[in-house]
Structure 1
Amino acid sequence: MQLPKIKIPKKYLKIGAWVLGVLALLFVAGGAIAYSKREALLNKMVAKAIAKAEKDYGLDVKIGEYGFNGLSSVHMNKVSVVPKDRDTLTTINDITVGVKLLPLLFGDVKLSEVTLNEGKLNVVLRDTLTNIDFILKRKKKDSSTTKSKVDLSEIANNLLNQVFYKIPDDMEIKNFMMQLNDNDTAFVKFLTTTATIDGGELKSTIKVNDTAAVWHINGNLDPSDKQLDVMLFADGRKVELPYLENKLHTKVNFDTVKTQMKDASFSGGDYKISGSWAIKNLLINQPRISAEDIVVPDARVEADMLIGANFVCLDSTSTVFLRDASVHPYLKYTLSPNKIYEMKLNAPEQDAQAIFNSFPVGLFESLDGIKVQGKLKYNLDFYLDTTLPDSVKFSSTLTPTDFKVLHFGKTDLTKINSDFVYTPYEYGKPMRNITIGPSNPNFTRLDDISPNFKNALLTAEDPSFFRHKGFVEESIRKSIAVNFKEKKFKRGGSTISMQLVKNVFLSRKKTLVRKAEEILIVWLIENNRLVSKSRMLEVYFNIIEMGNNVYGIGEASRHYFGKSPSELTIGEGIFLANIVPKPKVALYKFMSNGSLKGYLLPYFRYIGNIMARRGLATSDSTGYGFYNVRLREGLRQYLLPDSTTIDTNAVDIGEDDMMTPEGMQDKSKNLFDRLFGGAAKKDTTKVQPAADTTKKKKQLRQERREERRRQKEQEKNGN
């Protein structure tokens, strides 16, 4: 098909030519005028920037000389930035910065080149002050303007644009030092001897702490398409992070780490960032995480991050790969109108041995070398609206298909099916070896333990023990709600199965990894029926701590009441169940005549009524044996005088010692210590002033010292 010819009269062509000519002339004239006045404009802009830095941020900015270098590049030397009353932040000997003209016409500052020769960035931390505090200063707001709603997706888009705009097409940096001084106790220095960008290819050489190591950050950058692919590695050795080791006692090193951004754009109203992150031979050693080195040979994350108007989310299309195993995480944090936390983990059905092989080396010591068959699938669902914490949702399911343990690792998880030796620990030190079997005269078979004690302890600690498979989701859910509302670990969710595994199979070092190992071992034992419920309960009753150097129901019943476990009354059973969470304060619950203190009566009625409703005890309005409990004569000499009031319910203990979900926590510990057990245990018994207010503090201190002396003598004599 031939297009028709269009004839344009010559007069119109002449008019068009004149218009274009005039516009070109005006553009050239304007450019010439701007070019002739650019030095004056530059002086004005620099003066304005220096004044603004001082007024808004308290920065003293000095520039020795500056001026244009070519059409669109500015050259400066002897540049310094000093925050008010702080150490010098930056010094630069010589720098040239070029911008792209076309984007500049539309208000976007995009760098075309950066050349820097000798400079220093010096961050100094002194107590709570730093020389980068100015970054946190807020700009003064115009009180006449109304506060508008913040759109996180727009913020993310603008921020990422600014980052990529500042990546130049061409760059050459020589001898730029970045240094951190943390209270003169930890130092780290990075000297970039060379760093170049040429045609999108990034190459760099960085000296760490003078001669400690040489790092390289190499890769490819494409700012216009918001893409990058960079890798960090060291010459002839692993990349190490000395600052973490010196400051936080955390050793971290790896062979290589690679980061890739594939795309960043709006998708369905949300801002989507797609990329990946991979690391080789990562090693972590942190005492509160694990007592051993944890080594991750190969890990990779394919991530899709969504940023909406009011939320940030790691989408479920993301995948975490550990060797041959994979899991899809979903994390979402909603800021408004309510703060909401969501987490989902979905590990599709895959080979069980591949999952166990994917565990980092040194993570689960007792399972090292385990051989299994079959398949496993895992799902976790967590949802917490901070305005409705009681409605928190939690579910965790590990589903097996034809799963079977073929060979145990370092630890035989069936060892408690026969006689074995148990070693209790206190304050990190072994107390004594206890044989769990008939050769021990204090060992008591389950059938020989009074139902009064068995029923009281199960009622108080783990009512569904014979029905659950190691975990009680409702208990965990309630614990999350309570702990969130209290802003501390007030309630735990441990079952008897978890307490048994923790004490028998695992080390006494309190670490995050040990808790995860505990959960996995409980699942293996319970779901594969490696040990019967009755045997688990029997072992638990014979190892449970019930006083100072008192372990098991056999020792406890003779220690406190001078009788065998089969002879325990309902009152004695409820009392022994009561001391399990805080066994070391058991004697403080008695009056000098051997009877119980009155504040325990509500507890007896509470547990007794539950037992009665479940048909485990006869209904009793008098207190379910409370008034008939008597401490044996031989122990009464160690009791404090009745004039000294001890509130044993105020005694706080750490989660690791908590045998009941209702146990309280040590309020003096911070969150990290509560999770990982940072500090050594302390005697948290709180002695309150006596009812007799005439008694002086000196007398009370003397009584406490005498009581401690008596307890030591008691332990020595084995009473």
Structure 2
Amino acid sequence: MQFPQIRIPKKYIKIGAWILGVFALVLITLGAVAYGKREALLKKMMAKAIAKADKDYGLEIKIGSAGFSGLSAVRMQHISVVPKDRDTLATINDITVGVKLFPLIFGNVKLSEINLNEGKLNVVLKDSLTNLDFILKRKKKDSTSNSNKVALSDLASNLLNEVFYKIPDDMQLKNLMMQLNDNDTASLKFLTTSATIDGGELKSNITVNDTAATWHINGKLNPGRKRLNIMLYADGKKVELPYIERKLSTKISFDTVRTEMKEADFSGGDYKISGSWGIKNLLINQKRISSADIIVPDAKIDADMLIGDNFLCLDSTSTVYLKKASIHPFLKYTLSPNKIYEMKLKAEEQDAQAIFDSFPLGLFESLEGMQVQGKLRYNLDFYLDTAIPDSVKFNSTLTPTNFKIVKWGKTDLQKINSDFVYTPYEYGKPMRNITIGPSNPNFTRLDDISPNFKNALLTSEDPSFFRHHGFVEESIRKSIAVNFKEKRFKRGGSTISMQLVKNVFLSRQKTLARKAEEILIVWLIENNKLVSKQRMLEVYFNIIEMGQNVYGIGEASRHYFGKTPAELNIGEGIFLANIVPKPKAALYKFMSDGSLKGYLLPYFNFIGGTMARRGLTPADTSGYGFYNVRLREGLRQYLLPDSTVIDTAAVDADDDGMLPPAAMQDKSKSLFDRLFGGSSAKKDTAANNKAIIRPDTAKTKKQLRQERREQRRKEREQEKTKENGAS
């Protein structure tokens, strides 16, 4: 293809040449003038910057000497930065900074070189104050003066540009100390003995805490294209963070961490950052996560992050790799007009054994060594708009294909199909061993338990037990909504299957790892039909806590009513179902004559009415046996006078339904704790599988004295209230 020739008259060429010549002459003239006055301009700019730092940030900046070194480099010596009324933040002995001239024409300050010799950055924490408080002060001032909000995408772009603009083409640092002093009780030191950037290659040597370790941050940098690929590792040992361990009781170590940024630019109005992050042999020990070390041999994420005007998002094109298994995450946080949380996880169908092998060591101890066949696919969908929490969406599906368990791990998940020994724990301590089988006289087969109790407990705790596969998504969804609105774990979403697995197969430690392991074991048992529903319910009824050191329906029916489980009437069945969430509050619900307190009548009508509508019991207009419930006489002597008001609804259980020692009654009263706190605890009966009935002994003199003191205190408070009302 031949392009047509364009003929430009010579006079226009001459005019253009003259214009370019004049423009070049003006630039040269201005450059010469600026070059001649650059020292004065530098001093003026420095004085202005120092004054602004003092006015806006309360920083006292001193510079011993400053001057140009070459055409575009500035050398400064003996610099100090001291926040007002705080410790010295930074000192620099000698630094030379060079800028690129061409970007400067367009207002962009890009560094061409940095040479630093001996410097110190010193962060000091004293109580709630630090010598970095000036940053927060400035942010607060800016937030009040700027009424127009900047889009997050523009903010991210500007921030990232500033970071990359400050990465020089050439750099040489020697003896730069970065130190943190935390209330004179803990410190952290990083001494960069050398760090260089040459031709985009970064190399460094960093001494940690004097002689504790030597770290290296090495890699490739390309600031112009917003690309980097760097790796952190230590000489001959793991990278450890002892300061975090001391401050947060969290131990973290790893062999290497690699970070790569591949792209950062606007895409369809959003700012997109693409890169990857990988870690080798990560070790985490945090008691809220797991009681044991969690080890991740190899993990990597290829991430695409999107930043919009009002949201942050990890896009679903991202992939997390754990050994040979992979999953696609989607995380989105919308800031306005309402805060919205979104999470989606998608694991495409893949080899089941590869998934089990990818579990971090120490995370699921009971499943370690398990061998499986087949394939698995997983999908999770979560959406919460904080303005309408009741509309929360939750859907979780683990789909098997030809899945089969070939070999158990550390725990046989079918052990409850035959007789076994159960050890209940209270407040982290084992109570006693209980044989779940005919050799225990209190063990009760499912067919020998009154339908009045079975139906009442299923109605109140898990109505769809025989229909669901271990989980009830609607219950979990409602729990999320309630807990979010209450800002605490008020409602749980556990099914009977989950409670059974928690008590029989897992430790009583309340950790995230244990909860995740509980969910996985429930899925394995329910979806592979390892245990029948009838056997699960039978075991559950025989291990459930139903009072202070009272476990199982066999012990509970004899303890409260002196009956066998088969003899329970409708009222007794509803009462025993009522105490399951808070078993240690059971005795507080009785009057001194052994009858139930009136506030329980609506509960009886509700549960009884629900059972009647489902055809589980005859309709009853007199409270479904409420007035026929009587505590056996041997326990009535432990009941308080009827004048004592106890709100058992205020007895809060924790996230597992276990009551803390201080929550056995209304928080404003301590009388019950004083009466039963220490003397009612039973001895460990590991050698005896029979039910232990609390002896019917009278109150001690100490308990009576405490009761009288408590009564006198209440009378004094009532008198003061009357006096204040009269005045």
Instruction: Please give the range of the TM-score, normalised by the shorter of the 2 chains.
Output: over 0.9
Partner of 2:96: 96
Deviations for 1:65-89, whole angstroms, at most 9, x for unmatched residues?
1111111111111111111122211
Partner of 1:176: 176
Deviations for 1:7-44, whole angstroms, at most 9, x for unmatched residues?
77766655554444333322221111111111111111
Measured after TM superposition, the shift of residue 183 of structure 1 is 2.2
Which amino acid in 1 is paired with 2:203? K
The answer to whether structure 1 residue 683 and structure 2 residue 662 are counterparts is: yes
For residues 122 and 485 of structure 2, the distance between their equivalents in structure 1, rounded to whole angstroms, comes to 42
Partner of 1:661: none
For residues 673 and 116 of structure 2, the distance between their equivalents in structure 1, rounded to whole angstroms, comes to 70
Secondary structure, counterpart of 1:71 in structure 2: coil
Partner of 2:417: 417
The answer to whether structure 1 residue 163 and structure 2 residue 132 are counterparts is: no
Partner of 1:26: 26
For residues 251 and 2 of structure 1, the distance between their equivalents in structure 2, rounded to whole angstroms, comes to 71
Deviations for 1:246-275, whole angstroms, at most 9, x for unmatched residues?
111211111111000000111111111100
Deviates more, 1:12-21 or 1:539-548: 12-21
TM value normalised by structure 1: 0.92
Question: Matches of residues 39-50 of structure 1 in structure 2 within 5 Å?
Answer: 39-50=39-50
Deviations for 1:500-524, whole angstroms, at most 9, x for unmatched residues?
0000000111111000000000000
Secondary structure, counterpart of 2:663 in structure 1: coil
Question: Matches of residues 322-341 of structure 1 in structure 2 within 5 Å?
Answer: 322-341=322-341
Deviations for 1:647-667, whole angstroms, at most 9, x for unmatched residues?
111001111225xxxxxxx8x
For residues 555 and 407 of structure 2, the distance between their equivalents in structure 1, rounded to whole angstroms, comes to 36
Contact 1:181/1:188, CA 8 A, preserved across alignment:
yes
Secondary structure, counterpart of 1:221 in structure 2: strand
For residues 519 and 498 of structure 1, the distance between their equivalents in structure 2, rounded to whole angstroms, comes to 7
For residues 439 and 423 of structure 1, the distance between their equivalents in structure 2, rounded to whole angstroms, comes to 16
Deviations for 1:142-167, whole angstroms, at most 9, x for unmatched residues?
99x88334311111111111110000
Which amino acid in 1 is paired with 2:105? L
Unaligned 5+ segments in structure 2 are: 685-691, 696-727
Residue 37 and residue 139 in structure 1: after superposition, are their counterparts in 2 closer, same or farther (change >3 A)?
Answer: farther
Contact 1:639/1:707, CA 8 A, preserved across alignment:
no
Measured after TM superposition, the shift of residue 711 of structure 1 is 2.5
The answer to whether structure 1 residue 538 and structure 2 residue 547 are counterparts is: no
Partner of 2:344: 344
Partner of 2:707: none
Contact 2:90/2:122, CA 8 A, preserved across alignment:
yes
For residues 688 and 211 of structure 1, the distance between their equivalents in structure 2, rounded to whole angstroms, comes to 52
Residue 56 and residue 683 in structure 1: after superposition, are their counterparts in 2 closer, same or farther (change >3 A)?
Answer: same
Aligned-residue Cα RMSD (Å) equals: 2.0
Deviations for 1:361-409, whole angstroms, at most 9, x for unmatched residues?
1110000100100000000000111111111110000000000111110
Which amino acid in 1 is paired with 2:110? K
Residue 652 and residue 702 in structure 1: after superposition, are their counterparts in 2 closer, same or farther (change >3 A)?
Answer: closer
Contact 1:644/1:688, CA 8 A, preserved across alignment:
no
For residues 414 and 5 of structure 2, the distance between their equivalents in structure 1, rounded to whole angstroms, comes to 94
Question: Matches of residues 313-328 of structure 1 in structure 2 within 5 Å?
Answer: 313-328=313-328
Deviations for 1:579-606, whole angstroms, at most 9, x for unmatched residues?
1111111111111111111111111111
Contact 1:282/1:295, CA 8 A, preserved across alignment:
yes
Measured after TM superposition, the shift of residue 705 of structure 1 is 2.8
Partner of 2:359: 359
Residue 706 and residue 474 in structure 1: after superposition, are their counterparts in 2 closer, same or farther (change >3 A)?
Answer: closer
Secondary structure, counterpart of 2:656 in structure 1: helix
Which amino acid in 1 is paired with 2:662? D
For residues 205 and 447 of structure 2, the distance between their equivalents in structure 1, rounded to whole angstroms, comes to 72
Contact 2:90/2:119, CA 8 A, preserved across alignment:
yes
Which amino acid in 2 is paired with 1:374? G
Secondary structure, counterpart of 1:683 in structure 2: helix
Which amino acid in 1 is paired with 2:207? K
Contact 2:542/2:553, CA 8 A, preserved across alignment:
yes
Residue 326 and residue 33 in structure 1: after superposition, are their counterparts in 2 closer, same or farther (change >3 A)?
Answer: same
Contact 2:100/2:111, CA 8 A, preserved across alignment:
yes
The answer to whether structure 1 residue 245 and structure 2 residue 214 are counterparts is: no
Secondary structure, counterpart of 2:615 in structure 1: coil
The answer to whether structure 1 residue 551 and structure 2 residue 530 are counterparts is: no
Which amino acid in 2 is paired with 1:537? L
Residue 152 and residue 61 in structure 1: after superposition, are their counterparts in 2 closer, same or farther (change >3 A)?
Answer: same
For residues 433 and 8 of structure 2, the distance between their equivalents in structure 1, rounded to whole angstroms, comes to 108
For residues 97 and 672 of structure 2, the distance between their equivalents in structure 1, rounded to whole angstroms, comes to 77
Residue 682 and residue 358 in structure 1: after superposition, are their counterparts in 2 closer, same or farther (change >3 A)?
Answer: same
Deviations for 1:199-255, whole angstroms, at most 9, x for unmatched residues?
100000000000000000000000000000000000001111111111112111111
Partner of 1:73: 73
Partner of 1:191: 191
Partner of 2:680: 711
Residue 243 and residue 576 in structure 1: after superposition, are their counterparts in 2 closer, same or farther (change >3 A)?
Answer: same
Residue 684 and residue 140 in structure 1: after superposition, are their counterparts in 2 closer, same or farther (change >3 A)?
Answer: closer
For residues 253 and 283 of structure 1, the distance between their equivalents in structure 2, rounded to whole angstroms, comes to 5
Deviations for 1:398-431, whole angstroms, at most 9, x for unmatched residues?
0000001111100000000000000001111111
For residues 504 and 425 of structure 2, the distance between their equivalents in structure 1, rounded to whole angstroms, comes to 11
For residues 516 and 169 of structure 2, the distance between their equivalents in structure 1, rounded to whole angstroms, comes to 48
Deviates more, 1:379-388 or 1:84-93: 84-93
Question: Matches of residues 429-468 of structure 1 in structure 2 within 5 Å?
Answer: 429-468=429-468
TM value normalised by structure 2: 0.91
Unaligned 5+ segments in structure 1 are: 659-665, 667-680, 690-699
Measured after TM superposition, the shift of residue 685 of structure 1 is 2.7
Identity %: 76
Measured after TM superposition, the shift of residue 709 of structure 1 is 5.8
Residue 244 and residue 714 in structure 1: after superposition, are their counterparts in 2 closer, same or farther (change >3 A)?
Answer: closer
For residues 11 and 333 of structure 1, the distance between their equivalents in structure 2, rounded to whole angstroms, comes to 62
Contact 2:570/2:624, CA 8 A, preserved across alignment:
yes
Partner of 2:119: 119
Residue 6 and residue 634 in structure 1: after superposition, are their counterparts in 2 closer, same or farther (change >3 A)?
Answer: closer
Residue 432 and residue 60 in structure 1: after superposition, are their counterparts in 2 closer, same or farther (change >3 A)?
Answer: same
For residues 650 and 686 of structure 1, the distance between their equivalents in structure 2, rounded to whole angstroms, comes to 7
Partner of 1:662: none
Question: Matches of residues 132-281 of structure 1 in structure 2 within 5 Å?
Answer: 132-137=132-137, 138=139, 140=141, 147-281=147-281
Count matched residues: 687
Secondary structure, counterpart of 1:545 in structure 2: coil
Secondary structure, counterpart of 1:337 in structure 2: coil
Which amino acid in 2 is paired with 1:503? N
For residues 497 and 713 of structure 1, the distance between their equivalents in structure 2, rounded to whole angstroms, comes to 29
Contact 2:664/2:673, CA 8 A, preserved across alignment:
no
Which amino acid in 1 is paired with 2:262? K
Partner of 1:657: 657
Secondary structure, counterpart of 1:607 in structure 2: helix
For residues 581 and 558 of structure 1, the distance between their equivalents in structure 2, rounded to whole angstroms, comes to 20
Deviations for 1:613-653, whole angstroms, at most 9, x for unmatched residues?
11111111211111111110111111122222211110011
For residues 67 and 576 of structure 2, the distance between their equivalents in structure 1, rounded to whole angstroms, comes to 85
Deviates more, 1:60-69 or 1:348-357: 60-69
Deviations for 1:124-154, whole angstroms, at most 9, x for unmatched residues?
22222211111122364699x8833431111
Which amino acid in 2 is paired with 1:112? S
Residue 427 and residue 544 in structure 1: after superposition, are their counterparts in 2 closer, same or farther (change >3 A)?
Answer: same
For residues 406 and 63 of structure 1, the distance between their equivalents in structure 2, rounded to whole angstroms, comes to 73
Contact 2:559/2:693, CA 8 A, preserved across alignment:
no
For residues 347 and 553 of structure 1, the distance between their equivalents in structure 2, rounded to whole angstroms, comes to 42
For residues 714 and 293 of structure 1, the distance between their equivalents in structure 2, rounded to whole angstroms, comes to 34
Secondary structure, counterpart of 2:554 in structure 1: helix
Residue 203 and residue 478 in structure 1: after superposition, are their counterparts in 2 closer, same or farther (change >3 A)?
Answer: same
Partner of 2:477: 477
